[in-house]
Amino acid sequence: MANSRSKSITTLTDLRERKLSDEWVKDFNEIAQKQWEDFNFKLPNGESLKEVQERNIKTLDHILSESKNQTVVIGTHGTALSTIINDYKPEFRYEAFNAIKHVFPWVVRFEFEGEALRKLGISLGIGK
């Protein structure tokens, strides 16, 4: 998309996916559900959803302050994006996350006026 519009790509590492643990997680769904039920829950050496959300919202706020009156496209991982949605729409919880975790691409459109969310549109992927 960027190349077709002669736009540059900037990588912001704070929009990365959460770190679950240093160890292999045998039951991702169980851990994911626990994290969505308790945003402070985390495995040893991992991140809680609260930490992921705070990191992502801080980065989004920075993007908004640097990109006033511009269109910005952000690519990130499902959990990271889900925590951003949850910050604006608290009813977006585990059930919604579970419904999108295998949807590719998963497109969400945020419309802001300044730093205030004006509109949120969630798509379940192309052809869905």
Q: What is the pLDDT of residues 10-33, one digit of tens each?
A: 999 999 999 999 999 999 999 999
What residue segments make up the domains of the chain, in order of their start? 51-128
Percent of the chain with pLDDT over 70: 96
CA distance 121 to 67: 20
Q: What is the residue whose two structure tokens read 């969630």?
A: 122
The DSSP H or E segment spanning 120 is strand 116-122
Helices (H), the chain: 28-37, 49-66, 78-88, 94-100
**pTM across the whole model:** 0.90
Give the N- to C-terminal CA distance of the chain in Å, as an integer. Answer: 21
pLDDT at 125: 56
